[in-house]
Amino acid sequence: MKTIEIKDTNLVEYIFESTQEWLEFRKESIGASDCPILMGVAKWKTTDGRIKTPKLLWEEKMGLTNLSSDNSATRYGKAMEEPARQMYEKMVDDLFAPRYIKNKKYPHLMASLDGFNFSNDKAVEIKNANKDDHELARSGKVPEKYYPQVMQQIMVSELEEVDYFSVNSGEGLIVTVKRDYEYIEKMAEKLFNFWECVKNFKEPELTDDDYIKRDEQWFDVACRLNKIKENKKSLEVEKKLLEVEEKAIESMLKSFSMGQNSTYGGLRYTSYQRKGLVDYKAIPELTMVDLEKYRKESKEYWSLSGKVKDE
């Protein structure tokens, strides 16, 4: 990977020697395409059918999972990006190239620009759009799911505007998107808070999309576990017997949940990642010692919550 500082700006351009190098670099910052997920306006699915949420994005950045959103539509869009860029260049009479930039003021952000001209004063975001999104562009609007992406590019590039270029059936439409100061301020706070979660190994707040709806079999096991937990709090029973049964039922519910946050009938079963405990016995001296290198591996925890309701 090579870096080039762009003269008279806070920008640094990154040049990658391989796709793998680029993929690893993406984990180290928040990209423009991550922003619709963090702003809650995108319902993009991973290859296993789950909706990409801030929690799943956090897991990717932490290296806990490697979920892809690759599908025929994204592959088509990538393949058609170069012809679309050439169409755009003819329309604006300028030359553009895909470029990857970061801003020294926002080290936790990275923008992958579909096109940045060589005078560094104009950028474009290209979408091979479906019919509905293209009609929005015809009316001068950017689809809500892409708005945070364009605003992040404006924020990182320090431009006052970025062109959104919509292509459908050989027709190209340009929507010039002006800097939205109020929106960028709100987004900047969310992006900063998310990156703090990454830095501190703290899971972001879960959304409804983090839960997979299960069936009555799962619900029956969850109800049994829920009842045991309630009995432990309210009834005078043999604690050890309850704990044995609780562990057995919890193991069964974990199995039915297939390693994913699950819900049914008002009950939710949630997985948590926590840092491992520091093994203080392994530390010869505590003074001037980085305790993190003595921390044990993280562990997975589950909690059952909610109130049973009729489905």
What's residue 69's pLDDT? 56
Q: How many residues are listed for the chain in this entry?
A: 311
Q: Which residue has the higher pLDDT, 220 or 70?
A: 220
Between CA 163 and CA 176 the distance in angstroms is: 4
Which amino acid, residue 210?
Answer: D
Q: What's the rounded mean pLDDT across residues 113-126?
A: 96
Helices 239-257 and 216-234 pack at an angle, to 10 degrees, of 160
Residue 78 has pLDDT above 80, yes or no: no
Report the DSSP beta bridge partners of residue 100: 14, 112
Q: What's the rounded mean pLDDT across residues 43-55?
A: 89
Residue 287 has pLDDT above 80, yes or no: no
pLDDT, one tens digit per residue, over 147-181 is 999 999 999 999 999 999 999 999 999 999 999 99
Burial state string for 173-201 with b = 16 or more CB within 10 A and e = fewer than 16: bebebeeeeeebeebeebbeebbebbeee
247 φ/ψ angles, rounded to the nearest 5 degrees:
-65, -40
Residue 94 has pLDDT above 90, yes or no: yes
The model carries a pTM of 0.78
- Residue ranges and CATH numbers for the domains of the chain are 2-199 (3.90.320.10), 211-306 (no CATH)
pLDDT, one tens digit per residue, over 68-77 is 655 555 665 5
Q: What is the largest CA-CA distance in the chain?
A: 81
Quick one: tokens of 247? 């562990």
- 3-class secondary-structure state, position 137: helix
Q: What's the rounded mean pLDDT across residues 53-75?
A: 79
What's residue 71's pLDDT? 56
Quick one: tokens of 18? 């391989």
List CB contacts of 74: < 8 A, sequence separation 6 or more. none
Which helix (H) or strand (E) segment is 175 a member of?
strand 171-178
- Region of 48 (left: φ > 0; alpha: ψ -120 to 50; beta: rest) is alpha
Q: What's the rounded mean pLDDT across residues 222-241?
A: 80
Q: Which residue has the tokens 């963090």?
A: 38
Which amino acid, residue 52?
Answer: K
pLDDT band at 299 (very low <50, low <70, confident <90, very high): confident
**Span of 22-31, 141-150, 170-179 with lowest mean pLDDT:** 22-31
Residue 88 has pLDDT above 80, yes or no: yes
Q: What's the rounded mean pLDDT across residues 201-230?
A: 92
pLDDT band at 241 (very low <50, low <70, confident <90, very high): confident
